[in-house]
């Protein structure tokens, strides 16, 4: 039997790390591609296999189960990964020959020291699956309609049930299917060095990539997928940053102005931080906080690449650092750590790791960060709270609790904004409606006559 495809070998290794080590798929994939030095074509296939398998994991287990004499949850990680990886190719990728995918899986199931019979088991299950027509691959669905919907859309039942209860079946299904799509490659033109139009022309000339303007963000481009952006000359010399359109809109909601003092209190890896500086025409001061030194270093690296000179990085949490600055900021951004349930199309492994109780734990942490960040806002200043989540516990509930605790702040809807805000003034970006990541953001303004003490706990 010939050696397996390097793309499939790389994908299998990444998926096994995600399953056994709890690795993040994007970081594990980047490391594996760098180690193997695959061709652009093989790297693209490995990427598709990793993310596609993770997105459709539950559905794949469902169609695999009738062909396995052993329960899938009783299998060792290595053969389970190979079954899912190959089922994805058989069921979801029309251009991949089933026999090639199966042969590679069997080869990968025979590493040195492999248990006897593993390769034969993998071969039997996958050939049984491949022999059936597409209509015959799906077994009988679960009796419960929400469970059946979650299985077909490949989501945890608890999350599907939340969305069905909140949005209805049709909207919930549209949201889940949108979160299972491959996201666009969206770029932010660095207007300190170029224009959106000039960047589009450069990408076409240098990389052979067509690019179109984003619908709402005036500095954004949607580019065709072609190699790693980090390898582009336009990226290396700071003409652009990779950033989703919803993320760009969050910085615009803060409306930072040239000459202001602005804080980004959850700054790493620096994508929004450098966008704030860009919107300020690189004039003023941007304070960038992060408690992790390695991630904070990424902020400095991003600023240097993009030619941003007004960012000051500070290591530590906002609760620790805020008292040093008092109410000195014209504007503060809280891009809070959250469940990440709005960015599942980019981080699909997250949906298999989250539990309902995680939302309340996130909300408690978010409330503490927001409370500390508020002490940095001068009277009359602006405060934006944002998450890459659509869940009310992490957004609406946090905002209401904040306003109840800080009567010197009020909601401050933008008078005019590129994407229409909700009637309550909240920015909500929907994957199924806007083809963006799922983001929620709200802006507050501190009363000009505020005399409330900003001491923590006052």
The answer to whether 6-140 and 185-242 have equal CATH topology is no
Active site residue 153: no
What is the residue extent of each domain of the chain? 6-140, 185-242, 245-446
**Cα–Cα distance measured from residue 23 to residue 296, given in angstroms and rounded to the nearest whole number:** 20
Whether residue 86 contacts residue 107, with contact meaning beta carbons closer than 8 Å, is answered with no
**Which residues on neighbouring strands pair with residue 331, listed in sequence order?**
262, 382
Q: Could you say which DSSP state residue 404 is in?
A: H
**Cα–Cα distance measured from residue 303 to residue 362, given in angstroms and rounded to the nearest whole number:** 29
* pLDDT the model gives residue 136: 61
**Cα–Cα distance measured from residue 322 to residue 394, given in angstroms and rounded to the nearest whole number:** 22
Q: Report the candidate in 188, 187, 166, 185 with the shortest Cα–Cα distance to residue 176.
A: 166
Q: Report the candidate in 163, 157, 145, 148 with the shortest Cα–Cα distance to residue 342.
A: 163
* pLDDT the model gives residue 95: 85
Q: Report the candidate in 309, 351, 364, 360 with the shortest Cα–Cα distance to residue 438.
A: 351
Contacts of 328 (CB under 8 A, 6+ apart): 261, 376, 378
**Cα–Cα distance measured from residue 126 to residue 70, given in angstroms and rounded to the nearest whole number:** 13
Could you tell me the fold of the domain covering 6-140? N-utilizing Substance Protein B Homolog; Chain A (1.10.940)
DSSP 204-215: HHHH---EEE-S
Whether residue 329 contacts residue 280, with contact meaning beta carbons closer than 8 Å, is answered with no
* pLDDT the model gives residue 449: 73
**Cα–Cα distance measured from residue 44 to residue 38, given in angstroms and rounded to the nearest whole number:** 9
Kindly state the helix (H) or strand (E) to which residue 122 belongs, with its residue range. helix 118-131
pLDDT in tens, the chain (458 residues): 578 899 999 999 999 999 999 999 999 999 999 898 888 889 999 999 999 999 999 999 999 999 999 999 999 999 999 999 999 999 999 888 899 999 999 999 988 777 788 999 999 999 999 987 554 667 888 999 999 999 999 999 999 999 999 999 999 999 999 999 999 999 999 999 999 999 999 999 999 999 999 999 999 999 987 778 988 999 999 999 999 999 999 999 999 999 999 999 999 999 999 999 999 999 999 999 999 999 999 999 999 999 999 999 999 999 999 999 999 999 999 999 999 999 999 999 999 999 999 999 999 999 999 999 999 999 999 999 999 999 999 999 999 999 999 999 999 999 889 999 998 899 999 999 999 999 999 999 999 975 444 443 33
CATH for the stretch 185-242: 3.30.70.1170
In Å, how far are 319, 405, 441 from 323, measured between CA atoms?
A: 8, 19, 25
Q: What are phi and psi of 78, to 5 degrees?
A: -60, -55
Identify whether 345 is preceded by a cis peptide bond (ω within 30 of 0): no
Instruction: Tokens for 1, please give them.
Output: 């039997």
Instruction: Tokens for 171, please give them.
Output: 């909207």
CATH for the stretch 245-446: 3.40.50.150
In Å, how far are 17, 127, 182 from 354, measured between CA atoms?
A: 18, 33, 21
Q: Among the options 240, 266, 388, 429, which is catalytic?
A: 388
* pLDDT the model gives residue 415: 87
Read off the pTM: 0.93
* pLDDT the model gives residue 137: 65
């Amino acid at each position: 039997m010939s050696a397996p495809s390097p793309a499939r070998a790389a994908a299998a290794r990444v998926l096994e790390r995600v399953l056994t080590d709890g690795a993040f798929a994007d970081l594990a994939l980047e490391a594996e591609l760098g180690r193997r030095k695959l061709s652009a074509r093989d790297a693209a296939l490995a990427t598709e296999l990793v993310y596609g398998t993770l997105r459709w994991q539950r559905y794949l287990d469902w169609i695999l189960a009738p062909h396995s004499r052993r329960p899938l949850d009783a299998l060792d990680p290595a053969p389970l990964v190979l079954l899912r990886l190959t089922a994805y190719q058989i069921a979801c990728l029309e251009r991949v020959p089933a026999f090639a995918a199966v042969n590679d899986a069997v080869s990968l199931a025979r590493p040195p020291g492999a248990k006897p019979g593993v390769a034969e088991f993998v071969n039997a299950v996958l050939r049984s699956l491949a022999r059936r027509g597409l209509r015959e691959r799906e077994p009988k669905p679960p009796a419960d309609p929400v469970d059946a919907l979650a299985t077909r859309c490949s989501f945890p039942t608890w999350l599907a049930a939340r969305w069905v209860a909140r949005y209805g079946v049709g909207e919930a299904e549209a949201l889940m299917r949108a979160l299972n799509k491959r996201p666009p490659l969206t770029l932010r033109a660095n207007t300190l060095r170029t224009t959106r139009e000039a960047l589009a022309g450069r990408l076409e000339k240098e990389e052979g990539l067509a690019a179109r303007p984003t619908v709402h963000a005036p500095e954004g481009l949607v580019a065709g997928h072609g190699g790693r952006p980090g390898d582009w000359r336009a990226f290396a010399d700071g003409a652009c940053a990779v950033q989703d359109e919803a993320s760009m809109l969050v910085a615009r909601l803060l409306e930072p102005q040239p000459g202001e003092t602005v804080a980004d209190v959850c700054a790493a890896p620096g994508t929004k931080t450098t966008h704030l500086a860009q919107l300020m025409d690189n004039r003023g001061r941007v304070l960038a906080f992060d408690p992790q030194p390695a991630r904070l270093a990424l902020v400095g690296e991003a600023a240097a690449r993009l030619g941003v000179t007004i960012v000051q990085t500070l290591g530590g949490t906002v609760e620790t650092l805020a008292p040093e600055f008092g109410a000195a900021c014209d504007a503060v951004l809280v891009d809070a750590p959250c469940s990440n349930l709005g960015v599942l199309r980019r981080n699909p492994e997250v949906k298999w790791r989250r539990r309902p109780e995680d939302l309340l734990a996130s909300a408690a942490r978010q409330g503490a960060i927001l409370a500390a960040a508020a002490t940095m806002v001068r009277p009359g200043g602006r405060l934006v709270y944002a998450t890459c989540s659509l869940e009310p516990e992490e957004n609406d509930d946090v905002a209401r609790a904040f306003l109840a605790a800080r009567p010197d702040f009020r909601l401050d809807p933008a008078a005019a904004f590129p994407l229409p805000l909700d009637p309550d003034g909240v920015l909500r970006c929907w994957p199924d409606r806007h083809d963006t990541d799922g983001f929620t953001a709200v802006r507050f303004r501190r009363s000009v006559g505020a005399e409330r003490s900003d001491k923590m706990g006052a």
